[in-house]
A and B are shown apart, each in its own frame.
Chain A
Amino acid sequence: MITAERKPFEQIKAVTDQFENILVVGCNTCVAVCLTGGEREAELLTAQLRLQREKDGISGTVNTVTVLRQCENEFVDAVAAQADGKDLILSTACSIGPQLIAERIPKVRVAPAMNTNMLAVVKKHHVWSEYCVACGDCVIFSTGGICPIARCAKQLLNGPCGGSQGGHCEISPEVPCVWQLIYDKLAAFGLEGNLSRIDGPKNWSKSNSGGPRTMKKEGFEP
């Protein structure tokens, strides 16, 4: 899933204080599953904003609505009517949500309440780890099902650096060295010898470095 964390309240307030009538829009997909931006959190933020604005003597209203996915035109359009009379839409989705809202509901200013951070898995309840950076050219078959791009601080493709110490990355003793993990995994299949093969440069043009990407399902009319 895409994970996102709520911005510090100070940053949110710096924006919302400038507006009178605010609609907080939650997203009940990725950010709900990572427990930061679903309906529960959108309601919580709404309650916080109401209390803060009352305390600070800011007039206006704060309401909330949650859509199933803020990355779908139809779901966003469905709440457009609720934005009538609002001065600001505050989205608790990943950055996709507020961008699409800005596109689909152009008359209202939009602000993100979240910082989008990664494509992650739930390591255990309440803990998420990054597994993918959407590089557009997946290599994990040759690395034992473990991504060296997302999980190596240097995104090395042909083995560890000198900072690999006792199986850990030099950035933190809590972070495993992904190349140690890859080696161990391939060794378990008796394939550690594959690592002596040097892979050529990766095609980064398929990543975000190659400019904004679009995807199209071939054979179907858009």
Chain B
Amino acid sequence: MERELADSITRSSARPVPGDARLHPPCEVACPIHTSAQRYIQLVAEGDYGRALAVVRETNPLPQSIGRICAHPCEDSCRRGGVDEPIAICNLKRVASDGAKASGLGDEPPAVEFNTGRKVAIIGSGPSGLAAAHDLALMGVQPVIFEKQPEAGGFLRTGILNYRLPKNILDEDIDYIRGMGVEIRTGTGVGEEIKFEELASEYDAVLIAVGLSESRSLPIPGVDLPEVLLAVPFLEDVNAGRDIPELGKEIIVIGGGNVAIDAARSAKRIGGGKVTMVCLEADHEMPAHDWEIADAREEGIEMLCSQGPNAIVGEGKVEGLQVKKCESVFDEHGRFAPTFCETELSVITGDTVIVSIGQMSNLSFVPEAGPEVDERGILFFDREQCTTSRRGVFASGEVVTGPGAAVNALASGKKAAIAAARFLGVEAHYGHEPVAIGEVPSDVREQIKQAPRRRMPVRATGQRITDFEEVETGLGEVDGRCEASRCLLCGSGARYSQLKCISCLTCVRVCPYGAPWADKDGLGGIDADKCQACGICFTQCPAKAIDLTVVSEDDIERRIHVALSAETGMVEFGCWYSQSRVAPEAGFIALPCTSRLSTRLLLHAFEAGAEKVYVAVCSEDDDGRFVHGHRQTRTAVAEAQKALKEIGMEPELIELGLVPEKKCMKSA
């Protein structure tokens, strides 16, 4: 197809092209720890779980836990969201770790040598403290974590229930970090079993990562009644399996955040009665994640929104909660400043109240000598340097960032690890903030085939509210790989070399998405935001000025050799999307689509020793994953067959086979 040339000569340096080191998939940019989700998703699509987990571990020290509970801001920015639904990135992290575990991979911690001679004391073994310890250990700095609770994990252990994050999973993540030589002294509260000043003198630096371990209470009448519980100690008791005071039949949870949801869902499981959440915010303003609200509703928990607690009523014991209508929660600047209609009062009956309106830190261990804590009980803190007012004392996690997702705590801990290492004269660098590629242009979006997002299977509601066993059971291999194959490989498509380009315009003419461009002076490029990584331009470029970023020509060559190492003499080139086989006995090479097979690569399989090559392809009336993908596959196969015939080999040595099943195109 002929296309109009671009106007300006100067675009070449300004326009982003795939494979450009400056550009990243938006999921990676949105992730607070910048995990390369695309890379592990690609490996999951190929069923290479061990390497997928290794990619997760590059940035994430708690892969199994975060793969279950992450707030996944990555999914909000996923470009697939504009096509149908975002990739289930968080669930795929779990697929990676579940898959690796099933194959006995990825549980061997790296051998770490504390060769810097430096030691850091970390107060708190929550996600932030663990992340800091993990990263410091990798930098050769010896971390020792002090944890007041009998077991490590911080709020992941005490605040998050087994049904969302099973304890054995958290244990495995923590054991891995311990396996790196990180010492965690549990049952050692700073300020109690050990003094802060002892840490300050024994260690080269101290990191305060104590989180928000205490519930805020409410200054309303009746709050001292015996059936009024605070969420954090309540969850701690539930999590530790300690005796819980008998809950009534009508439980009221005050609060609309994620902790309130956990308190409500736990109360449902323990008491089995009616559980009502009461919160100031309107339905759409509730601070809890949408999916958590949905899970809670599914379990029969009621939400009473736009209601402010006025008084807990009852003579000697709780009989209900008087509420007043909340008219607005935030002022015009978005600050928390609730207004109420003081006359619109009502009473909700109930016999137990759990207060979950927010948390605070316990900094009572901080000595006179500092670090300085202000009158509201908040540490003075430099966000850039992660420093407090006392030299050598750093802070990270919710104690300084306020409440947020666990992955934010990880990010904070990782940053503090770098800050502390630099303070100790250990070479460490802050990463650059990555830049995301642009939105998928609407004309390209319309060309992208829809494929349904795979739903996480959950246990039946009736069953799950009776126990604390894990609710989500995991996507599993087939759904996991199908879900992974939905990834658009943002920014990882055709990589263009202007030095080799001869301005022949072939790519401009053959790309179904209009991604390559050339200007009137013959300079060109490939728009990263349009490129879908189908590989058609790569296979046809006569000057070999184009390669692919993910699953490149070299990668495919390597895979041919690996596939042939099984010595069946047969290889099959197949696609991620179908997840099915044309010739199950052949060595398999999974590609995003067989459209990226160049004629030379097909011949290369024979050079590498193949006696038979199978190529999976979609039927002619179905484009499959990429527009014109099957057409390109057929063209390459026909050209390769002709080449074989010319040299006196049987063209049938290359066999096209219709993909028997397109598992990933079916509705979930």
Query: Do residues A33 and B603 form an inter-chain contact, with CB atoms below 8 A?
Result: no
Query: Do residues B2 and A48 form an inter-chain contact, with CB atoms below 8 A?
Result: no
Given A32-B502, A125-B1, A125-B506, A40 and B541 touching (CB < 8 A)?
A: yes
Query: Do residues A125 and B509 form an inter-chain contact, with CB atoms below 8 A?
Result: yes
Task: Give the Cβ gap from A110 to chain B, nearest Cβ, in Å.
Answer: 22
**In-complex Cβ contact of B646 among A28, A39, A48 (8 A):** A48
Instruction: Note all chain B residues with C-beta closer than 8 A to A39.
Output: 500, 542-544
Instruction: Note all chain A residues with C-beta closer than 8 A to B647.
Output: 9, 13, 48-49, 51-52, 55
Instruction: Note all chain B residues with C-beta closer than 8 A to A13.
Output: 647
Query: Do residues B604 and A47 form an inter-chain contact, with CB atoms below 8 A?
Result: yes
Given A44-B603, A51-B606, A32 and B543 touching (CB < 8 A)?
A: yes
| Chain A positions 100-157 with a Cβ under 8 Å from a chain B Cβ | 124-125
| Interface-central residue, B502, B542, B600, B649, by most chain A CB under 10 Å | B542
| A98 within 8 Å of B (CB atoms) | no
Residue in B closest to A28 when the chains form the complex, CB atoms? B543
Query: Do residues A33 and B607 form an inter-chain contact, with CB atoms below 8 A?
Result: no
Determine chain A's interface SS by DSSP, over half rule: helix
| A5 within 8 Å of B (CB atoms) | no
Instruction: Type the 1/0 row for B454-470, where 1 means its CB is closer than 8 Å to any CB of A.
Output: 00000000000000000
Given A28-B502, A33-B502, A39-B544, A55 and B649 touching (CB < 8 A)?
A: yes
Instruction: Note all chain A residues with C-beta closer than 8 A to B506.
Output: 35, 125
Instruction: Note all chain A residues with C-beta closer than 8 A to B425.
Output: none
| B117 within 8 Å of A (CB atoms) | no
- Count of chain A to chain B residue pairs whose CB atoms are closer than 8 Å in the complex: 76
| A41 within 8 Å of B (CB atoms) | yes
Instruction: Note all chain A residues with C-beta closer than 8 A to B648.
Output: 52, 55-56
| B59 within 8 Å of A (CB atoms) | no
Query: Do residues B646 and A33 form an inter-chain contact, with CB atoms below 8 A?
Result: no
| Chain A positions 40-61 with a Cβ under 8 Å from a chain B Cβ | 40-41, 43-44, 47-52, 54-56
Query: Do residues B607 and A50 form an inter-chain contact, with CB atoms below 8 A?
Result: yes
Instruction: Type the 1/0 row for A1-36, where 1 means its CB is closer than 8 Å to any CB of B.
Output: 000000011100100000000000000110011010
Instruction: Note all chain B residues with C-beta closer than 8 A to A48.
Output: 603, 643, 646-647
| Chain B positions 32-89 with a Cβ under 8 Å from a chain A Cβ | none
| B194 within 8 Å of A (CB atoms) | no
Query: Do residues B543 and A51 form an inter-chain contact, with CB atoms below 8 A?
Result: no
Instruction: Type the 1/0 row for B493-514, where 1 means its CB is closer than 8 Å to any CB of A.
Output: 0000000101010100110000
Query: Do residues B603 and A32 form an inter-chain contact, with CB atoms below 8 A?
Result: no
Instruction: Note all chain A residues with C-beta closer than 8 A to B598.
Output: 40
Task: Give the Cβ gap from B98 to chain A, nearest Cβ, in Å.
Answer: 41
* Size of A's binding interface in residues, CB under 8 A: 27
* Size of B's binding interface in residues, CB under 8 A: 26
| A97 within 8 Å of B (CB atoms) | no
Query: Do residues B607 and A51 form an inter-chain contact, with CB atoms below 8 A?
Result: yes
Residue in A closest to B539 when the chains form the complex, CB atoms? A40
Residue in B closest to A46 when the chains form the complex, CB atoms? B600
| B580 within 8 Å of A (CB atoms) | no
Residue in A closest to B601 when the chains form the complex, CB atoms? A47
Query: Do residues A47 and B603 form an inter-chain contact, with CB atoms below 8 A?
Result: yes
Instruction: Note all chain B residues with C-beta closer than 8 A to A29.
Output: 502
Residue in B closest to A12 when the chains form the complex, CB atoms? B646
| B599 within 8 Å of A (CB atoms) | yes
Given A33-B542, A47-B600, A38 and B502 touching (CB < 8 A)?
A: yes
Q: Once bound together, how far apart are the Cα atoms of A10 and B502, in whole Å? A: 30
| Interface-central residue, B500, B509, B604, B643, by most chain A CB under 10 Å | B643
Given A28-B543, A38-B502, A124 and B646 touching (CB < 8 A)?
A: no
Query: Do residues A32 and B643 form an inter-chain contact, with CB atoms below 8 A?
Result: no
Instruction: Note all chain A residues with C-beta closer than 8 A to B544.
Output: 38-40, 43, 66
Q: Once bound together, how far apart are the Cα atoms of A129 and B582, in whole Å? A: 42
Instruction: Note all chain B residues with C-beta closer than 8 A to A10.
Output: 646
Q: Once bound together, how far apart are the Cα atoms of A17 and B131, in whole Å? A: 64
Task: Give the Cβ gap from B306 to chain A, nearest Cβ, in Å.
Answer: 63
Instruction: Note all chain A residues with C-beta closer than 8 A to B502.
Output: 28-29, 32-33, 38
Task: Give the Cβ gap from A30 to chain B, nearest Cβ, in Å.
Answer: 10
Q: Once bound together, how far apart are the Cα atoms of A9 and B644, in whole Å? A: 10
Q: Once bound together, how far apart are the Cα atoms of A40 and B546, in whole Å? A: 11
Task: Give the Cβ gap from B598 to chain A, nearest Cβ, in Å.
Answer: 8
Residue in A closest to B1 when the chains form the complex, CB atoms? A125
Q: Once bound together, how far apart are the Cα atoms of A48 and B648, in whole Å? A: 10
Q: Once bound together, how far apart are the Cα atoms of A147 and B502, in whole Å? A: 27
Query: Do residues B604 and A40 form an inter-chain contact, with CB atoms below 8 A?
Result: no
Instruction: Note all chain B residues with C-beta closer than 8 A to A47.
Output: 600, 603-604, 607, 643
Instruction: Note all chain A residues with C-beta closer than 8 A to B646.
Output: 8-10, 48
Residue in B closest to A54 when the chains form the complex, CB atoms? B607
Given A51-B606, A51-B649, A125-B506, A44 and B643 touching (CB < 8 A)?
A: yes
Q: Once bound together, how far apart are the Cα atoms of A124 and B606, in whole Å? A: 33
Q: Once bound together, how far apart are the Cα atoms of A1 and B568, in whole Å? A: 47
Q: Once bound together, how far apart are the Cα atoms of A44 and B648, in whole Å? A: 16
Residues of B within 8 A of A (CB): 1-2, 500, 502, 504, 506, 509-510, 540-544, 598-600, 603-604, 606-607, 643-644, 646-649
Give the top 5 A-B pairs by smallest Cβ distance, nearest first.
Answer: A52-B647, A38-B542, A9-B646, A47-B603, A33-B504
Give 7 pairs: A residue, B residue, CB < 8 Å, sorted on A. A38-B542, A39-B500, A39-B542, A40-B541, A40-B542, A40-B598, A51-B647
Q: With contacts A10-B646, A48-B643 known, what are 17 further pairs, Cβ within 8 A? A: A8-B646, A9-B646, A32-B502, A32-B543, A35-B506, A39-B543, A40-B543, A40-B598, A44-B599, A44-B603, A44-B643, A47-B603, A48-B603, A49-B647, A52-B649, A66-B543, A66-B544
